[in-house]
Structure 1
Amino acid sequence: MTALGDLIEIDDRTVLVLGQELDVEHGRPDVGNALVHRAGDTVVFVDTGVTTVFRAALRAAADRVGPWSRALVLTTHGHVDHIGNNDLADELGVPVEHYVPAGDVDQMRDPQSYWVRAFERIAALGAMPAPPAPAARMLMSLFEPMRPFAETTRTYEELPLERVRIGSVRFTGWTFADGAVRVLRSQGHCAGHVIVHLSDCGVLHLSDEGNGACGAMADADQLKIQTVLGAVARLFEEEQAALLTDGHTFALRRGSEAVSFLDGLLDQATALQTAALGLTGEGGTVRPSAFAPRYAEAFAALGAGGANPNAMFAAMMAVNQLRELGLRPESEAVDAPWARPAFSHTAPAAQTFPA
């Protein structure tokens, strides 16, 4: 049984700090796992979670991997369960750099608006404990203290973009600590998401790209999720990575076990989309309120997993799955039917262009 802030020693300079699952009913925030690693004389924090308990665990992990005289704080994405202790960078007493994805800065500044948008998409689906704005306020109240920025915070995108080749796989991103730390753009789970490869110890931190077969957030990109899962699987097959960690499953996966886990997520993605296609009917028109519970049943029947399983996230995934099938809402009305776009079978009018 794991507890918030437990430390798993990967090697003498790398520690995984364990978070916890979301439990809204009992007022407990989810906390994303973090990595603490020493590359030469630099201590590297990959995410900082949230809560004072987790903050203390990060400091304990940093003490365990030392000695170090510089620090690098890397934010994988802007969700509140990963950024609450980012100002730890100001307390380390050494030269420090802190980087965040530019695509997530707006939600880091105003997370409540980000979650209102997420909840507005499912307001008609019966999965909400309250209307979107109060529900978002209630959820955000769990994540305290929330300090997402430090004095040194910059965006990755202020640095020159690099082409990063690992084995046969090519990424774009940024390298640090003489190439020992590779930040790779993925942008599937949310708009700015990155993953991190620690080449000197073989750890690949997937963060939340492995949260499930279908992304839940409004800014999730299903193709990018699936693409990065496939690319990371290739790294393990080529032995360019040895150990897979992520943001929420509290597990270490090595070699072929990591490949099986990633392939399983891809298999779930295809199976879920096939099941969703069958739920839309022959006409391809469906109301979200009718689709969402049936989709949740299909999700459970397939044994599909993901972080923080609950009715809200299942409904958010259902809406994303409708869009992934190519359906669009027919109007802005609450619970408007979703349908495929109509195609005209008449030839377009001839157009003339100036000579």
Structure 2
Amino acid sequence: MTALGDLIEIDDRTVLALGQELRIEHDQPDVANALLHRVGDTLVIVDTGVTTAFRTVLRAAANRLMPWSRALLLTTHGHPDHVGNNDLADELGVPAEHYVPAPDLDQMRDPASYWVRSLDRVAGLAPLPAPSALADKIVEICQPMRPFCATTRTYEERPLERIRIGSLRFTGWTFADGTVRVLRTQGHCAGHVIVHLSDCGVLHLSDEGNGACGAMADADQLKIQTVLGAVAVLFEEKEALHLTDGHTFAVRHGPAVVAYLESLMEQAAALQTAALRLTTESPRVRPSAFTSRFEQTLADLGIGGANPNAVFTAMMAVNQLRELGLRPESGGADAPWSRPALENPTPGEIR
């Protein structure tokens, strides 16, 4: 049993600080895991979670990895559970740099609007509060929220690099003489990156492995599954040795990682196959009915993902409908979804 703030030592220069699950009904925010690593005289911090309690954990973990005389804070994406303590970089007493993904700046500035946009899609599909009320609640429990510091810049202000790791090629940015590699993946949300620490063999997947189907409005299912396959190759080629992420409170090692990643990809295929069956029983699908049966499908397949709850399940269900090619017939709450008619346009009508 793990608890908020437990530390897993990967080696004498690398620790994973464990967060906690989301429990909205108990006013408990989810807190993302944070990875801390010392390379040379630089302290690398990947994500900072949220809450004052976790901030104390980060300081203790940073002190544990001393000596260091500079700091590099890397934000994997802009969700509140990953960015709340980012201004910690201002308090470390050493020169610091902080980088965030440019596509996530808007949600970092205004997280409530981002969550309203995500939750509007599932209004009426599950017994949930109104989107604006639920968005306000998520932001309320993720406090204090300090996603920026004096040195914050976007990764995109740096020249984009072509990064080769083993047989694979990525784009992204390197730091600390190339030992810290930030790789663009953009599956879990629009700006998402993952981090590879080549000197210790750690690959931090952050939230790309949260489940078989991404929940957020800006999630990209293809990118999620593509990055899982690519990361599996890195472990097969021994370019990475230890896998960490944002919300499973463990470190995975060696060959076990490949089996784990393949299981996530198998779950994605099984889930879409099951969802396809649910949408072919009738030409029109009510999202509320689909969401209820989709939730049962998740249980039958034993697929939960990180932080399973009714909110994310409903968002996953809507994403799955879109993935299968269905579209809402109107803008009404719980309006039927169906496949657009395929008709050959007459000459001159193509637009």
Which structure 2 residues correspond to residues 244-255 of structure 1 after superposition, within 5 A?
244-255=243-254
In the other structure, the counterpart of 1:39 is: 39
Q: Offset at 1:338?
A: 1.0
| Structure 1: distance between partners of 2:157 and 2:325 | 35
Q: Offset at 1:349?
A: 3.5
Matched, 1:126 2:126: yes
- Asked if 2 retains the 8 angstrom alpha-carbon contact of 1:127 and 1:312, the reply is no
| Structure 1: distance between partners of 2:187 and 2:345 | 38
Aligned partner of residue 25 in structure 1, secondary structure: helix
In the other structure, the counterpart of 1:171 is: 170
Aligned length: 350
Matched, 1:334 2:333: yes
- CA deviation string 1:98-139 (max 9, x = no partner): 0000010000000001111111111111231x2111111112
Aligned partner of residue 208 in structure 2, secondary structure: helix
Q: Which runs of 5+ in 1 are unaligned?
A: none
Q: Which runs of 5+ in 2 are unaligned?
A: none
Amino acid at match of 2:85: N
Q: TM-score, normalised by structure 1?
A: 0.97
- CA deviation string 1:152-188 (max 9, x = no partner): 0000000000011100011100000001100000000
- Asked if 2 retains the 8 angstrom alpha-carbon contact of 1:22 and 1:29, the reply is yes
| Structure 1: distance between partners of 2:159 and 2:268 | 34
| Structure 1: distance between partners of 2:174 and 2:348 | 53
| Structure 2: distance between partners of 1:292 and 1:71 | 45
In the other structure, the counterpart of 1:55 is: 55
How has the CA–CA distance of structure 1 residues 86 and 346 changed in structure 2, closer, same or farther, with 3 Å as cutoff?
closer
In the other structure, the counterpart of 1:117 is: 117
Aligned partner of residue 171 in structure 1, secondary structure: strand
Q: Offset at 1:283?
A: 4.8
| Structure 1: distance between partners of 2:258 and 2:304 | 16
Amino acid at match of 1:46: V
Amino acid at match of 1:112: A
Q: Offset at 1:350?
A: 8.1
- Asked if 2 retains the 8 angstrom alpha-carbon contact of 1:127 and 1:315, the reply is no
Aligned partner of residue 19 in structure 2, secondary structure: coil
Which structure 2 residues correspond to residues 155-304 of structure 1 after superposition, within 5 A?
155-304=154-303
Aligned partner of residue 235 in structure 2, secondary structure: helix
Amino acid at match of 1:122: V
- CA deviation string 1:205-228 (max 9, x = no partner): 000000000000000000000000
Matched, 1:93 2:76: no
| Structure 2: distance between partners of 1:285 and 1:253 | 43
Indicate the RMSD between aligned Cα atoms, in angstroms. 1.1
In the other structure, the counterpart of 1:146 is: 145
How has the CA–CA distance of structure 1 residues 346 and 101 changed in structure 2, closer, same or farther, with 3 Å as cutoff?
closer
Aligned partner of residue 318 in structure 2, secondary structure: helix
| Structure 1: distance between partners of 2:315 and 2:114 | 13
| Structure 2: distance between partners of 1:328 and 1:304 | 25
In the other structure, the counterpart of 1:82 is: 82
Aligned partner of residue 169 in structure 2, secondary structure: strand
Q: Structure 1 stretches (4+) deviating beyond 4 angstroms?
A: none
- Asked if 1 retains the 8 angstrom alpha-carbon contact of 2:126 and 2:291, the reply is no
Q: Offset at 1:2?
A: 1.1
| Structure 1: distance between partners of 2:169 and 2:138 | 38
How has the CA–CA distance of structure 1 residues 68 and 340 changed in structure 2, closer, same or farther, with 3 Å as cutoff?
same
Amino acid at match of 2:17: V
| Structure 1: distance between partners of 2:274 and 2:256 | 26
Which segment drifts farther, 98-107 or 328-337? 328-337
| Structure 1: distance between partners of 2:328 and 2:186 | 25
